Structure 1
Amino acid sequence: MLWRSFDPPSRTVLQTTVRTSVDFLFSRLEKLHSRILVCRALGYFTLANHGITEAELDDVLSCDDDVLNDVYTYWTPPMRRLPPLLLVCIRADIDQYVVEHGADGARVLNWYHRQFTEAAHERYCADYAQKSVSIAT
């Protein structure tokens, strides 16, 4: 928990449902690590059918120009690639909600519980679903 014994009662409020707790976690991650980075990282993570390896997540985020433009706002590196430490920090914050398992000979990551999958899908993947429907029609 992020509470300290000297925090005021207004800061130590429990969420009323699991879903609001998960949404609160996602909001906190977005504030800590940049909204666009967390939205895309958790969106790709959630959309992977059988999980995603850390290397695949790093590769797909490194190909996402919106993420790279957000990360490299004030500086353009010689090779535009997502700094590995950013994913390490996000992974550390969600590690207790993620499970690793084997799939196709690799160790892949996936959400530990369906509540996280549903919350992340609604929060980060709804735009992708709407875009794919509008493209198909």
Structure 2
Amino acid sequence: MAFMNVFHNGYKTLALVALIISLHSGQFVTGKEIQCSYHFGLTRTDARKASCMQNAFEDNLCWLTGCTLDGQTVGSRGWNTLLFDDCTRGGVGPPTDGIEGQQYFRRSDEVEVEGSKTKGWWTCPFSTPVNKQTITCHLC
């Protein structure tokens, strides 16, 4: 009979370990799709993660491998492939194309982009279709 109790306790331990693993992994992957319709930008502390915000109040820390743009993973494309056109520095000067975004904030009729190569902030109108692109993240 004692021999049977050893197996019975072993199953309890195995079930407990499986429960702990499944609950623990749920903390990291919500499975919820978040559209970065307000803000997207790489974090300064971990190059593998990004800030993704749907609104001005809730910031989500997401793995880049779970973020997509036009169906492609942002991390595999390279962040610098996010380009914006017809941009000015606060409405001053001639419009510039090919601004590589480091982060963006979407407003009602424009997107504010921090350039990665062309340092500083740019204002890019939504009237230019490419400027309407939005990143979506899943692993937050």
In which range does the TM-score fall when normalised by the shorter chain?
A: under 0.3
TM-score, with length taken from structure 2: 0.22
Greater Cα radius of gyration, structure 1 or 2 = 2
The answer to which structure has the higher helix fraction is 1
